Amino acid sequence: MIIKKITGYRLLLLNIALAGIYFLAKVGLLSAISENDVTHIWLPSGFTLAVLLLGDSRYLFSIFLGAFVASIAVGDSIGVSAGIALGNTLEPLLGWWLLTHCVKIDIALNRLRDFILILFFAAPLSACVSALLGVTTLVASDRISSEEWVSNLISWWMADTLGIILVTPFIIAWFTPLPRLRGLPTILSAFLPLVLAFLAGQIIFLDWFAASIHEGKKAYLMFLFISWTAVTLGTRGVTFVLMMTTLQALSGVHQHLGYFGTDVNDSHLINLWFYILTLSVVGTTLACHITELQQTAKQLVQKEQQLRILSTAIEQSPTSVVITDLAANLLYVNPKFTQVTGYSSEEVLGKNPRVLQSGLTPTAVYQQLWETLAQGDVWQGEFINRRKNGDVYWEEVHIAPVRDSLEVITHYVGVKLDITERKASEEEIKQLAFYDPLTGLPNRRKLWDRLHYAIALNHRANSQFAIFMMDLDKFKAVNDSLGHAAGDALLKQVAMRIAKHLRDSDMVARLGGDEFVFVLENLKVPEDAETIALKVIEELTVPFQLSENDSVQIGASIGISLYPEHGSTPEILMDNADNALYRAKDQGRGCFTYFLKQSRK
């Protein structure tokens, strides 16, 4: 609040001003209606609590000073003045602590809860402090007898309680800037209930038109105007009418006029006290309730606008958005979903998303999905789904649970992005990075990764594997005589023939030119490698039909190294297989040889 930001000499001036205001309020009220030094409506009590709520405890001394000087001014001794001033200071301090530290109200007082806490919690409790100290001080100073202690205690408590109920909300409500009133209808709607309430107060409490208006129960007419004000002007208007009505009633009592003109003799102003209290409760309760309804309606409009914006964003989203119930039945799909899948919303709503499954997504993915959602977490992953036209496509999916106000999961929201093109690009990059573009076989980089993996795996299993280094015989002659296009066609056919004789656990890579490398794992005995080598050599001796007119016959030479017998690193194994290949060529080509240590070049 603004008061809390004031510091330095301005704070000092404000404290002096507050002390002066309290002094004038107290002296003025003590000079008005009194009975044994106790009034039934003590307005300064509400003023001091409002000051602390809008500011803080820095203003306690000014409150004490104003109360002390006011008591001195009306003839009290220093001791009596100090005791009463202490009670008048501790009262707002307790109320401030209860409202800001114990229950923590909203100082704006826009909620019914906040008014109720002032009316039925802070006001009656804090008033006890001032009443106890004040009346006890009067008894101790022989101002009143001990027999009058209880009656004066009750009267003092009633006065301070009603003062807090009336003045504290009034000051807080009017402390904030007034809204601008534009247009004659708006101005009339604001002032008409206030003017009529004033006239009603004059009639009820000051006997205006007494000769023309029957006495009856005219005091209850004020409830009509307080309700009207609550509906049209809210808490600010209600607090104004309450203060105005209270002052009119007190003026009537002082002049022995109006509805409560004889109440001092009849009930010692208790009837007036209950009347003002009831009017306050009805007016503030109704005003706060209407304010809350207006705020709720405003929030609903804002939420509706937000939902409209979110709905538009989802409808125009470049990603597919789906909403399902707990059984995964589709309740909503956005236009992008229908565009990606080819299904209309009518075709899929109420159905399970499994209508999109292609059978290519691993079962483990779905299992992990439901385990994650069962824990209440967000799942993300990839699906391989099928469009309505049968095309397979990739999706990156995020699925999140939706909870209600009790944190119970009620729905699932899925956001899906078509990543088919991205996957194709990734696969293309992978092919370029790890595969030979001509034959589609793994390249040197892929081969090197496989060798490291094979060495680690066979080392743990204490097993062996073989490496073939193969060159094509007479390939250069084909290239030179028929051209590079024929050579490329020959290499493609060679790759396809080799693949026929390899097991799933084997691998063949092209290093470049006519060089090929085989990795043969899961060998029970070295002779298994020989069997494959013979089949490959035999297969490659069969003539190749490169075109309608061109048929060529070539051969192959293979050098073999074994892990771990011939080496324990990729470099050594490759070098030794290459050494064995040279031996095979030296022996006349079209054959295979093992690496021999004594033949290392």
**3 state DSSP class of 470:** strand
- Name which of 207, 241, 240, 211 is nearest 224 in CA terms: 241
Query: What does the alpha-carbon distance between residue 99 and residue 93 come to, in Å, rounded to a whole number?
Result: 10
* Phi and psi at residue 467, to the nearest 5°: -120, 125
Q: Which residues of 376-392 are buried (b: 16+ CB within 10 A; e: fewer)?
A: eeebeeebbbbbeeeee
Instruction: Label the pairing between strands 592-594 and 555-563.
Output: parallel
Burial-class residue 358 by CB neighbours within 10 Å (0-12, 13-18, 19+): middle
Give 462's contacts (C-beta < 8 A, 6+ positions apart).
none
- Name which of 563, 496, 555, 497 is nearest 529 in CA terms: 563
Burial-class residue 500 by CB neighbours within 10 Å (0-12, 13-18, 19+): exposed
- Name which of 40, 574, 580 is nearest 273 in CA terms: 40
What are the C-alpha distances in Å from 282 to residues 166, 250, 410, 549?
Answer: 12, 20, 41, 109
417 pairs with which residues across the strands? 396
Give the start-to-end residue ranges of the domains of the chain.
Answer: 1-176, 178-316, 320-420, 435-599
The topology (CATH level 3) of 320-420 is: Beta-Lactamase (3.30.450)
545 pairs with which residues across the strands? 551
Domain boundaries 435-599, CATH class: alpha beta
Give me the pLDDT at residue 264, please: 66
What is the chain's alpha carbon radius of gyration, rounded to the nearest angstrom? 48
**3 state DSSP class of 403:** strand
Chain-centre distance of CA 262, in angstroms? 61
> Is the separation of the CB atoms in 166 and 45 below 8 Å?
no
Domain boundaries 1-176, CATH class: mainly alpha
Q: CA 475, 479, 481 angle in degrees (round to 5)?
A: 115
Q: Which residues of the chain have pLDDT under 70?
A: 1-40, 178-184, 186, 210-216, 264-265, 597-601
